[in-house]
Amino acid sequence: MDHKEPKVEAHCSTERKSHHSEVTKTGLTTRLNRIEGQIRGIKGMIERDTYCDDVLTQLAAVQSALNGVGKIILEGHMKSCLVERIQDGELEVVDELLTTIKKLMK
């Protein structure tokens, strides 16, 4: 990673690596740890035969939380990786992004 400060919190190289700032990594890790705890909680609810509607509500909360993580990563990708690769003439990155967005929208 070069020593210049990036304008956005993520920077991707042509080696297809993402270089998130420590603040971004910490925030994403915190969110994912919380989601992991929610998943364990749902597992416990199922083991305790919790009412299905309550389990479904918790599943919806987890899905929303995962979508939030995805939005943060997508924003950083679009503001850094995508721009950088387009500037380098790698226009195929737009098709790659469209494929990824289709996967996210399933």
pLDDT single digits (tens) 11-52? 554 466 776 788 999 999 999 999 999 999 999 999 999 999
Does residue 70 fall inside a structural domain? yes
80 phi and psi angles, rounded to 5 deg: -120, -70
Average pLDDT over residues 79-104: 93
pLDDT digits (tens, 9 = 90+) for 67-86: 999 999 999 999 988 999 99
Please check whether residue 7 lies inside any domain of the structure.
no
In order of 40, 49, 50, 62, 91, the CA distances from 83 in angstroms are: 38, 49, 47, 31, 10
Q: Of residues 7 and 72, which shows the higher confidence score?
A: 72
37 in any annotated domain: yes
Q: Is the pLDDT of residue 6 over 60?
A: no
Q: Name the residue range of residue 61's domain.
A: 19-104
Task: Give the 3-state secondary structure percentages of the chain, helix then strand then coil, rounded to 5.
Answer: 70, 5, 25
Residue 78 lies in a domain: yes
Domain count, the chain: 1
55: pLDDT strictly greater than 70: yes
